[in-house]
Amino acid sequence: MKRTYYFLAASLFLIAACAGPSEPTTSEVTSSNDDPAAEKAAILRVLNEETIAAFSRDYTGWQDKWVQTPYVTKTYMNFADSSLTETLGWAEVNQFVVDYFAEHPEPDPLPAPLTTIDVRLYGTGAWVSYEQDDPARGRKRETRLMELIEGEWKIAGMGTVIYGE
């Protein structure tokens, strides 16, 4: 049953994330992925920096790692407490984080930095997945949709499944 929910949420996440503009603007096209290892390293750096910013309650650092457009999505499925949160569009994603930081001002313990991620590059986009042990929430699987904007990888979609301890 849990796998069915995971598959459904992942499918909805992918559909929602792909609902943005079909053609990138000229300023967005800055890479042909000639060096996949360098692109993967750049994505890994962004993911680790975004995690540090979010867990440290560094709002400016966190928002700098995100695409700030109406097609951005963020979904949390928490099997540990049976909750689901789906946030669509930059305004809602941003407000969710502003509210969360206000309600939980104390930093969370940082997970170990990511060293292993699976990356599929698609021109100026990338599909990324990985597992991480979160000291406060337990084991989780993350999926990120990344976009290359003016030479910088940014998060355009996030799907998190929290399994807990």
Identify the architecture of domain 2-164 in CATH: Roll (3.10)
Q: What is the mean pLDDT of each run of 10 residues along the chain (165 residues)?
A: 49 45 39 82 98 98 98 95 96 97 96 96 97 92 97 97 90
Q: List, in order, residues 6 or more apart from 106 with CB less than 8 Å away.
A: 57
Q: What is the pLDDT at residue 8?
A: 45
- Domain ranges across the chain: 2-164
Q: What is the pLDDT at residue 165?
A: 79
Token couple for 31: 């890479």
Q: Which stretches does DSSP call E strand in the chain?
A: 73-78, 83-88, 118-122, 125-134, 138-149, 152-164
Count CB atoms within 10 A of the CB of residue 30: 13
Q: What is the pLDDT at residue 34?
A: 80
